[in-house]
Amino acid sequence: MSLWKHYHTPRTIDEALELLARYEGQARVVAGGTDLILEMHEGRRPPVKALVDITYVEGLDQIRLEDDWITIGAAVTHTQVVESRLIQERGTALAEGSSVVGGPQVRNVGTLCGNVAHALPAADGTVALIALGAEGQVTNRQGSRWVPLLELFKGPGQSAVDSTRELLTAVRFRPTGEREASAFTRVMRPQGVALPMFVVAVMVRLDPALERFEKTRISLGPVAPVPYRSRIAEEVLQGAVAGEEAYQQAVEAALTECHPRTSKYRATSEYRLEMIKTLLPKALATAVARVRGEAWAAPRLELADKYSSFGSWR
């Protein structure tokens, strides 16, 4: 049985939207396709009449700094994100998160916006974007609107973007500025390329003396059906001296509001709660050290070999 009958490569957003309308819910948008195609092959998503490939739409493969926002188009791959000097320096958590998505083959094809649209609560790119205060651009035939990223999720694997008539055309975030930095960390099973068991991303701003927290954003996953921002932990850190005592207070606050579930294939809820105690202080300490210019906190990015997309089939 064919998983799709027609494959379209529109050159404009309007053309892509017209195709979605024409197929009346029987078409799906594809860019990298690393999640969608696999799920269709495994029977977790039904066959469709058509796939609409948006990677040929001009401009969607670009990363731009405009109007004090870093904007990332829907066709930008994880490898492009990792290799972007702008994101390495002004959105470090995102570069770190994208650098551990799948393996080189996946990062060379899979897109950041696809990571967001797939709507998993522990998606590396998504968790990092939430810590950076990102927004998503949702486009339909009536126009485009920017939506806070957290509003784009309805449940595990359930996006608020209606893929039968809408496109997630870009994401954007404010670049970190003076006295600001971000960090990302996670734990995963050690066997080869694996999905994350727990993910943490943070953004911090320190006071002019680089002693106290002025602002933080803390993103955790999976601790809820959707990607999650720990606002109670953020409130605890407001005005606190940036150090071990504050990190532990943030952990205690996060534990009161996080309710991770046990996953048969990844980790128990108890283990994930323990990981909050380990990974949240690590991420906060790393971001603070980056603001202070401490060398040990320099990001270690897994840069993909863009020519290794077709590796061994061992």
Give per-residue pLDDT as tens, 34-46.
888 878 888 788 8
Tell me whether domains 6-56 and 63-173 share a fold. Answer: no
Q: What gap in Å lies between CA 179 and CA 307, rounded to an integer? A: 37
Average pLDDT for residues 296-306, to the nearest whole number?
70
- pLDDT averaged over every residue in the chain: 90
In order, the DSSP letters of 237-267 are HTT-BSSHHHHHHHHHHHHHH--PPP-SSS-
Third-level CATH fold of 180-188+197-297? Enolase-like; domain 1 (3.30.390)
The domain limits of the chain are: 6-56, 63-173, 180-188+197-297
Residue of 204, 222, 33, 199 lying closest to 124 (CA atoms) = 199
Would you say residue 313 has pLDDT above 60? no
At 58-81, the pLDDT tens digits run 999 999 999 999 999 999 999 999
Average pLDDT for residues 217-226, to the nearest whole number?
91
What global pTM score does this model have? 0.91
CATH of 63-173, picked from 3.40.50.1950, 3.30.465.10, 3.40.50.300, 3.30.9.10, is 3.30.465.10
Length, in residues, of the chain: 314
| 167 within 8 A of 74, measured Cβ to Cβ | yes
Would you say residue 277 has pLDDT above 90? yes
Which two tokens mark 135? Answer: 């927004």
At 109-137, the pLDDT tens digits run 999 999 999 999 889 999 999 999 999 99
The whole-number pLDDT of residue 302 equals 60
At 135-178, the pLDDT tens digits run 999 999 999 999 999 999 999 889 999 988 999 999 999 999 99
Average pLDDT for residues 201-209, to the nearest whole number?
99
Architecture of the domain whose range is 6-56? 2-Layer Sandwich (3.30)
